[in-house]
Structure formats: structure tokens, C-alpha cells
Amino acid sequence: MSNEGTPRIQLATNDLTLRYGSYLAVESLNLSVNEGEIYGFLGRNGAGKTSTIRMIMGISKPDLGTITFAGKTLSRIGNHEKRSIGYVSQEQYFYPWMSCRRIGNFVGGLYPTWDDTEFTRLLAAFDLPPQRRISHLSGGMRVKLALALAISHRPPILILDEPTAGLDPVARREFLDIIRSQAERYQRTTFFSSHLIDEVERVANRVGIIHRGKMQFEGTLQTLRATVRQIAAPQDPLVVDAVRALPLQYLRSGLEDSQTWLLQGLPEVWQEAEKLGVYGESISLEDAFIALASEPVVPV
Amino acid sequence: MRMIRTLLLKELSQHGWLFLALLPFCTFGFLMTLAVGQMSEAGSPLEAARLFGTSLLLLVEVVLCNRLVVQEFTGKTQLFLEGLPISRVGLIATKYGLGLAVVLLMLAFCLGSSLIVASREEIISRRFVAILSVRLGVFAYCTYAFFFMMGLLGRYRIVLYLLAIMIVTVVSRTTNFDFELHGPLGLINSQFAFERNVFPTTTLLICGAVGMVFTIIALVMAVLREGTVASMLAERMSQREKLFVSAVMLGTIFTITTVQSKQTPDPYTILGAISSSGKGVSVYVERVTDDEQQIQEFADRVHRELVEVSEYLQIDGIPPLFIVHRSDLDADRYELADLENASGILVRVNFLSSEWSLEDFLPWLLDVCLSEATQFNAIREPQCWVLEGFVQYWNRRKTDPAVWSDTNKWDLRAAYGASLGISTDDITNWYSYRERVGAPIASAVACAGLVRAEQQYGAESLRRFLCEVLRSDLPRDSRALFTQWRRPVDVAWQDAFASDYQPQLAKWIDDLGVFEDQFAASIAEVPRVQATSEMNALSRTSYEVIVTAQMSPTSPEKTWTIQYESIDVVDLWTSDDQVTAQVIERTAGTSGTIKERFPFGSRLRWTVSVHSPILDCDVISGWNRQEVK
């Protein structure tokens, strides 16, 4: 991530829309990923994360909208652009008869920038026996192999679609550490989706939260904490009036206490609210995510 | 190019062993075809290439498409490829091209080998080579494109294959459309090895276009909705889906057979035939002599017989009978013609021969007519003894003792049959028993069973049993199967005689033993025939068969007969119509050489028969089936 001046956008979507028949999977989605940052794409199962990533990867064609990649705005990512992207899908459908070495040879044949020495190094670093058949690898090993394949052609951007789904806690932690160290070492832009706030919190610089195909929030984790807050005693007429008077968006009632409200607003709005006697309490990132990625509950 | 090269390398390393395995398999198969074709004098070594095209090549195409397409999609590995810089069209085109190249390579090898062998026997012009190559090539392209497209239909491909076979079967059976003349098969029909000058342009263009359509459909399927259609089709069938598809398939078969059975073709016609009709039975006899009265009497006699039988059995479904004269047939040879696009029963006999015997002809005719009237239900093995017994029983029942002085000949034949050994298993495996003892003896044994039932339970009970087993009111479609299952012969027996079937069969066998004792002196004079065969190679491909007969006691007849017939590798059904009888003089010894020569690898069935004056029929050594080698 560039700390000097305006960060350069590596990847952005512009009103990206995808329909499956009458079902709107992604609706006018806008996101932007800055060069060198780790971007956590959060959302519940079925929120539209994979559909968005499939459009970004050129696997699905958007019904509307464009994708900006490395300065070029395209209606669809082509093979040329795909050569500059490393991609780890949600499930690994490798050829089971291939060995780790052999699949490296196969994938390497498709990338002019393939670095075989790097692939060999990564296999060793990830404890992947080169001659072992893929059918004999565990789930965690397969994800590591997918990552090795995705980064051995030295792509400027790495896209990972819920890569840790199905991994045990140790393997997940190990994988996230690899992602973070890779991003730091090579200043590689990393875009990864997840529905687990703790792993995003662990590695991401910025997050985007998607719900029902729409972007609910995009920014840093600090901003997320600062914008989504909880207020107590919402039945107090003074509080109700203050909330109505300010541009605070009601999200839902409290997760554990229906006598509290979760509201979203800019930090300066919250400062204004305090002057009116409405104090927004900080909540955990997980609560903030749930508030943004769940249906609003009507206040009692 | 980088993508195609990488994909090709991947396909070769994934399926290379299959290509290597197919090569010797096809080479061996083709060389066998070539060798057998040469030995059986198929007409041209090029026939081997044609046979390869219609058999092994299609198998290779199915296997290739299954490996290249089905395996990729059912293994979902195409989802892995989607994330790589590979286009869907490029992926599918690479697979298509590789498979087609393998097919054409094998075809080129087989055609080239056939041409080399053929060039030693006939002149091979360039034009001829071009015609052969184009015909085979377009055939292979069209069929390969079809199988490739089917591969993309995933879990429905097997169902669609079955549906396609059903459609082809129905079309070929219900219409005059000849698949050998049109479509891909028109390119490699029986003219393939012999058409030297003319390109079948129209068929080539049609097949080329059809192949192109299949190819386009395959490509569209592969890219439709970002490849999700092909992916979804490749998923395994759910239990519910399997059940639904099975129900649809069975329903379709049921419907087709029902509709087909309703479509009765027009009756056969004999111009100027003399007829005798009435009471639901029609008999038409060819007018071959000026003596119309003689033919009319013949027609009336046959008609009367059929009416009596149909009234006795309460049958109203005897199809129209057409009798044509064949002067080249022996008087005791009766031929049943196969009517494909006409209804009725057509028989060919030499009824003007001086040796003609109507009394011998009628039991055979009854057998044929009742088989047809019962939609061949009567000749199903568990109950076919009933029909065979009935035609003799009917003859015996009507016989005036004054005319037939030796009515005991039925019992004599039955006793002889018993002396050759019989068990209740022989009754249920009737066709095997009949091949062992011969038709006259077997029918006499069956007749003895019916006579015994009549004596024990009465004539009316027997009639009820016969009416049930030989009923003609079965549905003329697949529903007949259910009716037959519901009413097997043992149930019919139980209903008619109120006794169990199997114990009665055992008692019947015991009674035959009594016959055997009663007529021991007479049947001791009837020869028991045994025979062996020997095959002599006359050339590399041609064999003669020498049959040696042994008879004990010696037959008083001056001749004995070798009966034989060439049969297929799988002889599900044999008919005595095709049997050739070769008479051997006793003075010539106990061995005889069959006049016909047999190619290596062919099969024949044969027996030795000799006439027994005591039984007034032939006795046989039992039919043997042998491969010529």
C-alpha cells in the first residue's frame, strides 16, 4: 500500500451487476482495491462474493458494469489480463492423477512469466512433496498448492475466494500468515473473500462488506469501528429525536439486548450526536459486520 | 498457441495410455477382421475397413469422447481450468481436434492396410482410393461429432443413446426408410468396397452438414451460460431423477409397442387366389392349375380344419392364411415366409406333388397358425410342449380308427421317447429335449401327456386347459407380458384340473415308463442312432465335414440321412425350414461326407436320421452344434 499521496487503484468494479435469471446476485457493486493492499471482501454465505470474484476473473460475464484493472476499464477480463492475476478458488478441482510437480509444469505452460524456481521453492516452503499425487494431499495441502500455483508466475494481484473455508484452525492461521508475508514481501495486491471477521481483521488493510449483492461498507477496519456504534436507551424521546435529526442509519436492534440500537454514521456525525447527549458505544468488529450483513430488525 | 500446446500436452499425458491401448486393440481387431474376411471370402479385403468403421471405430469414438469430455466435466476439473488463462472454446476445440485426429489416424491405418492387401487381388485406382477415403472420413467425422456432442450432455447421454436406438428401431420397423441407403450408414453400406467411380455426393454433403451441426451444438453447449449448462448436465443423477427417467423410458417403450401393435399392415395378397372364408377364418390358395375344383377343395379342407380348431379352442384371432405353390420343394417340406410389411401367414408348399399328404401338412399348419394366433406365447419354452402335443392330439382325436389301423403309433413313439430317457426337467426345457429325440417323438410324448390328462380329468377339463394356454385374446403389445406372467402354465393347469402341475408331470413320466414296458418288444426293433463328425481341411479356408453313423439295432431302411444347417455364432432360434437333408445309401457305408463346404470359423448344426417303419417317422441321433475348425 502506498503511503505517499493518493494510493493507485489496482482493481475496481464500476456498477457491476449480475443476474441468474430473475435473481439479482450482484447489484451495482462498486469497490476499489489499492495497489499493494490486502483487501478483505466480507459477506455472509450467498451474499454475492463468489459471483463478484467470478466476474473479476472473467469466468462470468457481468450483465452490467465494468471492471478497471491496471488502469484499463473492461467489460470483461480476458486471458491477457488473467495472466497478471493469481487466483485461488473456493474449492480445488485439480486433476487428481497429477503430482504437485506435474501440475506446476502444466500451469506454468500457460504463463509467460512463470518462475519454476519460485514454484519449487514454494513447494518446499509449504511442505508439499513434489512427486506426491494430488489425490493423496489433504485439504490444507491442496489450498497451499493452489496458492503456490497462483503466485509462481509473480502476478501483481492475487485473488482468493474463501481460501480458508474447510481448513482447521492451525492450517487457517498458517495460510493467513503466508498470505500476509507474501503481500508484505512482494508488495502484492491481495483481494480475498471471507465470511470470518477474525481472519480479515488479522490480515486486511481495508474491507468491503457485501450483503444481498450490494456493497454495505468499504473502508479501513478503524473506520468500520468508528462508523458502526451502539446506543443505549433508544426509547428515551430525547435520544429518538436526536437520532432522527442526524444522518444516522438505523441498522438493527442490539444483538444481545433489544434495548439498544446499532446505528451507522460518519465519525463527525457521531461527534455531533454526543453534543446532543447521544453517546455511541464502540462495538466489536464482529458485531459491526453482523449489523451490516444482516436484515434490519425493527425496533421494539 | 501456448495455450493449445499446453492443453495438448495435458490431454496426452492424461489419456496417452488410452491412445496407446487403443492402438494395439484396434490393430488386432482390424487384422482379425481382415483375416476372417479373407477366409470367409467376403468379396474384397476392403470389406474389413467397412466392418472396422461400423464396429470398432464407433467403439473407439465412444470411449474417446467419454474420456475427453465426460471425464473432464464429471470430475469438475474444468472449473480449475476456468481460473487459468484458457478460453472455453480453446479447451473444447483442443479436445475435439485431438480426438478426431486419433480417430482419423486409426482409420487411415486400417484403410491403408486394406488397400495394400486388396492391391494384390484387384486394381486400385487413385479415384477409388479417394472415394473410399472420403466415404470413411466423412462417416467417421459425422459419428465422432455426434458422440462428442453427446458427451457434453452429461448424465442424460445414456438415456439419449437409448432413445436414439429406439427411434432408429421404430423408424426402420414402421417405415420403408432404409438406414443403409441414407445418412452415415449410407456411406459405408454394402456398396462401399465395390463402388469405384461415383462419389455419393448427396450423402457426403448431408453427412458433412450433419456433422457440422453436431460440432456447432457441442461448441454452443460448452460455452452456453459461461459453461454452466455443461457443468450442470455433468452432475450425477439424483435418485428422483433416475426414477423419473426410468419411468419415462418404460413409458415410451410401452407406448411405442402399443402404438405399433395397433398399426396392422395390409394383408398379403395373392392375385387371383382361390379362397375359402367364413367364421373368422380366411384361406387363400394360389391358382396354379386349371383344375380350380381341386384347389377349392384344398382351400375348403384347410379352412374347415382351422374353423374346427378355432371353435374348439375358442380362438378368434387366426390371421388370414395364404398358401402358395412351390414345385421345387419336396412334398414333405413346408416353408413359412417372413412377411415384413404385410399381415397374414404365408406358407410355401408343393401341394400338387404326387407324394403330397394333407394329413401330414395339417399338424404343421396348425402349429404355425396357433403360434401366430397366440402371438407366439404358445411357443414359450415352459409351455411349448402343450402346443406340440395338441397338434398331435388333435390329429389323433379326429382319426377314424377304421382309417388308422395303427393308432398305437402315437403311444409307440412316446414309448420310444421314454426309452431314450426323459425327466420332468425335459418338459420344462422342451426345446433341448426335442433336439435330442426329434420333433415327431417329442410331440408324441407331449400328446401322451395330454391324453393322460384327458383320461384322468375328462375331455372338458382338458379343453379348458388348452383354451387357457393357447388363448388368442392376449393384448397385442407389452401388456401381454404382464398377462403371461400372471398366467403361467402351472396356474392354468391348477385352474383346469384342480391339481398341482409338478406332481402331475412326475406321474406322466411314470406313465411313459409303463408305455415303455408295454411296447418293449416293438421299440426294441427301432434303431438307436448315434453319430460322430470329423472335419477335414480342404484348403486354408475350406473344410469338409464327414459324419459317421451307428445304429443299433440296424435299420431295415436302405438309406439314412444327414440333416444339417449353417448357423450363426449366436443361434437364438433355429427353424427346421432351413435344414438341408442329404440322403446316404446304406451300401455306401456308415460314413457320409456333407456335400456343402464350410469356411473356417463358421458353425453348423447337424444330425443323422433314419426312417423307422414301426414308428412311421424318423428317429435321430440328436442335433449337434459345432464350430468348423
Q: Give per-residue pLDDT as tens, B213-224.
A: 999 999 998 888
Most B CBs within 10 A among A55, A76, A82, hence the mutation to make, goes to A82
Residue A30 near chain B (CB below 8 Å):
no
Residues of A in contact with B83 (CB under 8 A): 57, 59, 87, 89
A20–chain B Cβ distance below 8 A for any pair: no
Average pLDDT, chain B: 86
Q: How many CA atoms lie within 13 A of B388 on its CB side?
A: 25
With contacts defined as CB-CB under 8 Å, which chain A residues touch B18? none
Q: For residue B590, report the phi and psi dihedrals to the nearest 5 degrees.
A: -95, 0
Tell me the C-alpha distance between B316 and B306, whole Å.
11
Model confidence at B486, in pLDDT bands (50, 70, 90)? low
Give A93→chain B minimum CA distance, Å.
Answer: 5
Query: Hey, are the CB atoms on B14 and A95 less than 8 Å from each other?
Result: yes
A249-263, B385-399, B451-465: least confident range:
A249-263
Locate the chain B residue with the closest alpha carbon to A161.
B83
CA distance A189 to A30: 18
Q: Which of B185, B167, B212, B28 is nearest to B106 (CA)?
A: B28
- The answer for A 86-105 residues in CB contact with B (under 8 A) is 87, 89, 91-97, 102
Task: Give backbone dihedrals phi and psi of A39, rounded to 5 degrees, phi first.
Answer: -110, 120
Q: Is the per-residue pLDDT at A251 higher than 80?
A: no
Confidence category of residue A119, pLDDT binned at 50, 70, 90: very high
Helix, strand or coil, per DSSP, at residue B487: coil
Taking an 8 Å cut-off on Cβ atoms, the answer to whether B79 and A97 are in contact is no
Is the C-alpha dihedral spanning B385, B390, B391, B395 positive or negative?
positive
Q: Are B316 and B310 in contact (CB under 8 A)?
A: yes
Closest chain A residue by Cα to residue B6: A109
| B74, closest residue in chain A (CA to CA) | A93
How much is the average pLDDT of A249-262? 73
CA torsion through residues B553, B558, B562, B563, sign: negative
pLDDT of residue A265: 84
Give chain A positions within 8 Å (CB) of B6: 106, 109-110
The 8-class DSSP code of residue B154 comes to G
Of A18, A61, A59, nearest to B85 by C-alpha is A59
CB B206 within 8 A of CB B183: yes
DSSP B203: H
Which residues are CB-neighbours of B48 under 8 A, at least 6 positions away?
B30, B33, B34, B37, B42, B110, B114, B117
Give me the residue label for grid cell 494395439: B24
CA-based end-to-end distance of chain B: 56
pLDDT of B65 higher than 80: yes
pLDDT value of position B477: 62
Q: Which of A95-99, A132-136, B123-127, B179-183 comes out lowest in average pLDDT?
A: B179-183
Which of B74, B84, B235 has the most A C-beta neighbours within 10 Å, making it the best mutation to test the interface with A?
B84
In the chain, the amino acid numbered B367 is: D
Q: Find chain B residues with C-beta within 8 A of A59's C-beta.
A: 82-83, 226
Task: Report d(CA B412, CA B392) in Å as an integer.
Answer: 13
* Tens of pLDDT, residues B376-387: 888 888 888 999
**β-sheet with B345-349: strand ranges across:** B274-278, B281-285, B321-325, B345-349, B335-336
More reliable by pLDDT, A29 or B521: A29
The answer to whether the beta carbons of residues B425 and B405 sit under 8 Å apart is no
- Name every chain A residue with its beta carbon within 8 A of the beta carbon of B86: 79, 110
Mark which residues 259-278 of A lie under 8 Å from B by CB.
none
Is-contact B446 B385, C-beta < 8 A?
yes
Distance CA(B358)–CA(B345), nearest Å, equals: 18
Residue burial B391-414, b: 16+ Cβ < 10 Å; e: rest: bbbbbbeeeeeeeeeeeebbbbbb
- The predicted structure's pLDDT at residue B94: 93
Could you tell me the end-to-end alpha-carbon distance of chain A, in angstroms, rounded to an integer? 44
pLDDT tier at A254, thresholds 50, 70, 90: low
3-class DSSP state of B114: helix
Task: Name A91's Cβ contacts closer than 8 Å, sequence gap at least 6.
Answer: B79
Task: Please tell me the predicted confidence (pLDDT) of residue B410.
Answer: 79
- Determine the Cα–Cα distance for residues A79 and A71; give it in Å rounded to an integer: 16
Q: Which three cell numbers stand for residue B106?
A: 486409426
d(CA B247, CA B241): 10
| Predicted local distance difference test score (pLDDT) of residue B375 | 79
Closest CA to A187 of A8, A6, A5: A8
Global ipTM: 0.84
Which of B14, B80, B226 lies at the smallest CB-CB distance from A93?
B80
The per-residue pLDDT for range B355-382, each reduced to its tens digit, is 888 888 998 999 999 988 887 888 888 8
The lowest-confidence range among A39-48, A57-66, B333-342 is B333-342
Q: Is B589 left (phi over 0), alpha (psi -120 to 50) or beta?
A: left
Which pLDDT score, from 0 to 100, does residue B514 have?
Answer: 85
Q: Do A95 and B80 touch (CB under 8 A)?
A: yes
Pairwise CA distance, residues B32 & B40, whole Å: 12
**Residue A65's Cα: distance from chain center in Å?**
19
Contact A119, A103 (CB under 8 A): no
Looking at residue B309, its pLDDT comes to 92
Give the pLDDT of residue A183.
87
**Mean pLDDT to the nearest integer, A55-73:** 92
Q: At what angle do helices B88-118 and B56-65 cross, to 10 degrees?
A: 160
Residue B531 · residue B580 · CB < 8 Å: no
Helix axes A116-125, A100-108, angle to 10 degrees: 150
Q: Cβ contact (<8 Å) for B9 and A61?
A: no
By percentage, how much of chain B surpasses pLDDT 90? Answer: 28
Q: Are B560 and B551 in contact (CB under 8 A)?
A: yes
> Cα dist. A231→A242, A262, B315 in Å?
12, 7, 95
Residue B326 has pLDDT above 60, yes or no: yes
Q: For residues B516, B519, B525 and B528, what is the CA-based torsion angle, rounded to 10 degrees?
A: -20
| From B6, B13, B85, residue closest to A79, measured CB to CB | B85
Listed in sequence order, the DSSP H helices in B487-533 are 489-497, 501-518, 520-523
Which amino acid is it at B502? Q
Q: Which residue has the cell 417372413?
A: B338
Cell of B536: 477335414
How many helices and strands (H and E) does chain A possess?
Answer: 11, 14
Inter-chain residue contact A92 with B6, CB threshold 8 Å: no
Return d(Cα A178, Cα B44) in angstroms, integer. Answer: 70
Other C-beta atoms lying within 10 Å of the C-beta of residue B230:
24
Residue that is written with C-alpha cell 382325436 in the block: B397
**Contact list, A93 vs chain B (CB under 8 Å):** 75-80
Helices B88-118 and B2-39: crossing angle in degrees, nearest 10, is: 30
Contacts of A106 in chain B (CB under 8 A): 6, 9-10
Lowest mean pLDDT segment, chosen from B19-33, B87-101, B333-347, B400-414: B400-414
Q: Cell for A76?
A: 470483461
Mean pLDDT of B77-81: 90
Q: Does residue A106 sit at the B interface (CB-CB below 8 Å)?
A: yes
Q: Do A83 and B85 touch (CB under 8 A)?
A: yes
- How does DSSP assign B30-95, residue by residue? HHHHHHHHHHTT-S-THHHHHHHHHTHHHHHHHHHHIIIIIHHHHTTHHHHHHTSS--HHHHHHHH
This prediction's pTM: 0.65
**Residue B468 has which C-alpha cell?**
387357457
Chain A residues in contact with B226 (beta carbon < 8 A): 59-61
Higher pLDDT, A223 or B478: A223
Strand partners, B533: B547
Amino acid at position B344, single letter: G
Instruction: Look up residue A98 and give its three cell numbers.
Output: 497429477
Average pLDDT over residues B210-236: 89
**pLDDT tens sequence across A90-113:** 888 999 999 999 999 999 999 999
Q: What percent of chain A has pLDDT over 90?
A: 47
Please tell me the least confidently modeled range out of A40-49, A95-104, A232-241, B343-352: A232-241
Q: Kindly tell me if the per-residue pLDDT of A152 is higher than 50.
A: yes
CB–CB of A59 and B83 under 8 A? Answer: yes
Cell 409303463 belongs to B514
pLDDT higher than threshold 70 for residue B261: no
More confident call, A53 vs B471: A53
CB < 8 Å to B13, chain A = 102
Packed helices B292-313 and B459-469: angle between N→C axes, nearest 10 degrees: 100
* Contact residues, chain A, for B78 at CB < 8 Å: 93
Phi-psi region of A267 (alpha: psi -120 to 50; beta: other; left: phi over 0): alpha
**pLDDT computed for residue B84 by the predictor:** 92
* pLDDT single digits (tens) B159-168: 888 888 888 8
CA distance B20 to B86: 27
Residues of A in contact with B9 (CB under 8 A): 106, 109
Give the whole-angstrom CA distance, residue B440 versus residue B447: 10
pLDDT score of B287 more than 60:
yes
- In percent, the amount of chain A with pLDDT more than 70 equals 94
Comparing CB atoms, the residue among A91, A95, A110 nearest residue B84 is A110
d(Cα B418, Cα B318) in Å, to the nearest integer? 34
Q: What is the mean predicted confidence (pLDDT) over B37-52?
A: 72
Hey, are the CB atoms on B77 and A59 less than 8 Å from each other?
A: no
**B373 close to B348: Cβ distance less than 8 angstroms:** no
pLDDT for res A2: 41
Cell of B117: 492387401
Give the model's pLDDT for residue A231. Answer: 82
Q: For residue A279, what is the DSSP state?
A: -
Could you tell me the pLDDT band of residue B127, with boundaries at 50, 70 and 90? very high
- B471 closest CA partner among B380, B351, B599: B380
Beta-ladder partners of B565 = B605
Q: Answer yes or no: are the C-beta atoms of A289 and A249 closer than 8 Å.
A: no
Confidence class of residue A300 from pLDDT cuts 50, 70 and 90? Answer: very low
Chain A residue with Cα closest to B4: A110
Q: How many CB pairs under 8 A join A and B?
A: 53
